Amino acid sequence: MLLRTLTLLMTLGFVTPAFAEETLKATVKEQPAGDAPKADAAAAPAASGAGFATTECVQGKNTRTVELTSTNAQTKLPCEVHYKKTTEQAGHDQVLWQSANNLSYCEGKAQGFVDKLKGWGWTCTAK
């Protein structure tokens, strides 16, 4: 389904072939419902790697977090973009994008998602 959508968007000129290729390389991983981590914030980074860039978004009483993580503090690769619904679903931690060798891909995706949240009325602050 994703391939067909990207092909259509390329045909219509909305995305470049390079963007489509990077999108197909990325994966979206949903965490199984029964395997949700505990709400202990100190334990979360150890499971997926250390966070090196975090943006917190607030709307009313709800808080969501977009975090760049990596298991290698020096190269910051591989990288992952995590999305956490801190107040709405305790323990929610979804990997939206990841890259084995392109840090700017993760950074761009994280910033784009934060911009999308802002467009939906969230107030976001880098931490």
> What does the pLDDT look like over 71-88, one tens digit per residue?
998 999 999 999 999 999
Which residue in 101, 105, 84 sits closest to 39, CA to CA? 84
Q: Are 100 and 46 in contact (CB under 8 A)?
A: no
Domain boundaries, the chain: 1-28, 41-127
pTM, 2 dp: 0.61
Give me the percent of the chain exceeding a pLDDT of 90: 55
